[in-house]
Amino acid sequence: MDMGIENIIFILIVLGATFWFSKNLRTIIRNINLGKDINLTDRKGERWKKMFMVAIGQSKMVKKPISGILHILVYLGFVIINIEILEIIVDGIFGTHRIFSAALGGLYDVLIGSFEILAFLVLFSCVIFLIRRNVLSIKRFGFREMIGWPKTDANVILIVEVLLMTAFLSMNGADYVLQARGVEHYVEAGIYPLSSMLEPIFGGMSTSALIAIERGTWWFHIVGILLFLNYLPYSKHFHIILAFPNVFYSKLEPKAQFDNMDSVKKEVELMFDPSADPYAAPAETDASPERFGAKDVTDLSWKQLMDAYSCTECGRCTQQCPASQTGKLLSPRKIMMDTRDRLEEVGKNIDKHGEGHNDGKSLLGDYIKEEELWACTTCNACVEACPVTINPLSIIMDMRRSLVMEESKVPNELAAMITNVENNGAPWQFSQTDRANWKDEG
């Protein structure tokens, strides 16, 4: 082991990156916990199975074969390749080089060879994704909510992954030549099926130049990964982390089954109870009155807020939405993006002014318009399409409840239907006694 100033600098960088990431992670957890509490710990067996199938197995991604397979390559490649981060960190701290090679023996050769193949597949997939996003006219990447930062964010991540994989292969290529020359410190270890092809380029360079390339790409690779980790909380790519708990806590009931509000349900049950006293005063309680539906992010549940942070912005939900397909204002992806943006705003207000600060804004109205909500057909196509089981419909329905039950804002067509149901027991404008007349005609 040969520890020096470089190792001290490396340790400080790792500690700083870890602190920065943990701080951002705590902020996001705080923001998610601003939502109302709900219990989603039931049926654990089903939840674990769903998480392994959807989040780990990527079962919903392959419904679009091209993007699905490419995504799996990036997902598996980036996760598996980063196993070598453990070795890089150990080498960086203690001044060693490929310290795991002696302990793993022949397995180390297999791992390095596999890492190289996966690195190339990740690089290839990211280049294809960049072409799909910036050259091909794929409709779901061109909706209004994807203009500006969302498009830049996606490109930044893809470019960073291309650079990291290029640095990884270049590092190995220089290392391969240095090992062959028997340069001190560069132990002979690993098999390099792809980076060894760079020998015609690196073979003619001086040893000092190769060491500079190997060390430069080594530092670029590990520092780039640490910066990438800390970029995630500011990016849609935080789904890399949240996809797993988000799928675990996702809805297990049938998609068309809506949740009832206990307070409203009790009122309806009381109406149908012949033994109930209609003039009895409701029981007094010290609890704050429950809001009907959701006007702002703090009226949503923590799971709905986790959904917002888990959104991949892939646009599959909006692509499948019949309202969006027919030119309506609604985009389920925008609903999730707006919820996340508003939650971030509320969180920053708390950091700056403390809890309870009212900035005079809300999710409903300032971010999401009534027209968007009433365009929804509640068909659940967006829920079915989402690769990480996000439920935009639940947020839409909660905000509709707020419009109807808190603000008495209902489209004229729906108001007429509600009046007919109240008076006639059906959405049509004729009495219950005439309901079966159709069978006597003709």
Task: Assess whether pLDDT exceeds 60 at residue 19.
Answer: yes
The pLDDT of residue 364 is: 93
Q: With bands split at pLDDT 50, 70 and 90, how would you rate the model's confidence at 310?
A: very high
Beta-bridge mates of residue 301: 36
The pLDDT of residue 354 is: 87
**Higher pLDDT residue, 61 or 169?**
169
The pLDDT of residue 288 is: 58
Q: Are residues 299 and 402 in the same domain?
A: yes
Q: With bands split at pLDDT 50, 70 and 90, how would you rate the model's confidence at 437?
A: confident
Task: Assess whether pLDDT exceeds 70 at residue 21.
Answer: yes
Q: Are residues 106 and 230 in the same domain?
A: yes
| Percentage of the chain exceeding pLDDT 70 | 95
Q: Are residues 228 and 323 in the same domain?
A: no
For residue 324, give every residue at least 6 positions away whose Cβ sits within 8 Å of its Cβ, in sequence order, or none: 143, 318, 330, 331, 332
Torsion, Cα 207 211 213 219, to 10 degrees, reads 180
The pLDDT tens digits for 90-144 are: 889 988 888 888 888 888 888 889 889 988 988 999 898 899 888 887 778 878 8
**Do the domain assignments include residue 126?**
yes
The pLDDT of residue 256 is: 76
Task: Assess whether pLDDT exceeds 70 at residue 292.
Answer: yes
Q: Are residues 181 and 120 in the same domain?
A: yes
Tokens found for residue 252: 């297990």
CA gap 84, 421 in Å, rounded: 64
Q: Are residues 259 and 226 in the same domain?
A: no
Record the pTM: 0.84
The pLDDT of residue 282 is: 58
The pLDDT of residue 281 is: 56
Q: Are residues 312 and 342 in the same domain?
A: yes
**Do the domain assignments include residue 337?**
yes
Task: Assess whether pLDDT exceeds 60 at residue 158.
Answer: yes
Q: Are residues 154 and 209 in the same domain?
A: yes
Task: Assess whether pLDDT exceeds 60 at residue 399.
Answer: yes
Q: Is 409 left (phi over 0), alpha (psi -120 to 50) or beta?
A: beta
Q: Nearest Cα to 27, choosing from 268, 343, 315, 301?
A: 343
Range in 23-37, 71-85, 167-181 the model is least confident about: 71-85
**Higher pLDDT residue, 83 or 217?**
217
| Cβ–Cβ under 8 Å, residues 221 and 167 | yes
The pLDDT of residue 406 is: 87
Tokens found for residue 204: 């003619």
Range in 339-343, 369-373, 429-433 the model is least confident about: 429-433
**Do the domain assignments include residue 304?**
yes
Tokens found for residue 34: 């601003």
**Higher pLDDT residue, 330 or 70?**
330
Q: Select the highest-mean-pLDDT range: 26-40, 146-160, 179-193, 248-262.
A: 26-40
Task: Assess whether pLDDT exceeds 80 at residue 275.
Answer: no
Task: Assess whether pLDDT exceeds 70 at residue 166.
Answer: yes
The pLDDT of residue 3 is: 66
Query: CATH code at 322?
Result: 1.10.1060
Range in 127-141, 173-187, 291-305 the model is least confident about: 127-141
The pLDDT of residue 279 is: 61
Average pLDDT, the chain: 87
**Do the domain assignments include residue 41?**
no
Task: Assess whether pLDDT exceeds 70 at residue 25.
Answer: yes
Q: Select the highest-mean-pLDDT range: 235-239, 285-289, 338-342.
A: 338-342
Q: With bands split at pLDDT 50, 70 and 90, how would you rate the model's confidence at 280?
A: low
| Cβ–Cβ under 8 Å, residues 217 and 357 | no
The pLDDT of residue 70 is: 81
CA gap 388, 382 in Å, rounded: 11
Q: Are residues 125 and 256 in the same domain?
A: no
Helices and strands in the chain: count of H runs, count of E runs: 19, 0
Amino acid occupying residue 99? I
| C-alpha torsion sign, points 256, 261, 265, 268 | negative
Distance of CA 250 to the CA centre of its chain: 13
**Overall average pLDDT of the 63-80 stretch:** 78
Q: Are residues 194 and 262 in the same domain?
A: no
**Do the domain assignments include residue 49?**
no
Residues of the domain holding 394: 250-267+291-409
Total domains, the chain? 2
The pLDDT of residue 1 is: 55
Task: Assess whether pLDDT exceeds 90 at residue 374.
Answer: yes
| Cβ–Cβ under 8 Å, residues 309 and 274 | no
| Cβ–Cβ under 8 Å, residues 101 and 87 | no
Q: Are residues 190 and 254 in the same domain?
A: no
Distance of CA 401 to the CA centre of its chain: 26
| Cβ–Cβ under 8 Å, residues 334 and 143 | yes
The pLDDT of residue 278 is: 59
**Do the domain assignments include residue 83?**
yes
**Higher pLDDT residue, 65 or 344?**
344
Task: Assess whether pLDDT exceeds 60 at residue 442.
Answer: no
Task: Assess whether pLDDT exceeds 70 at residue 287.
Answer: no
| Cβ–Cβ under 8 Å, residues 296 and 304 | no
**Do the domain assignments include residue 300?**
yes
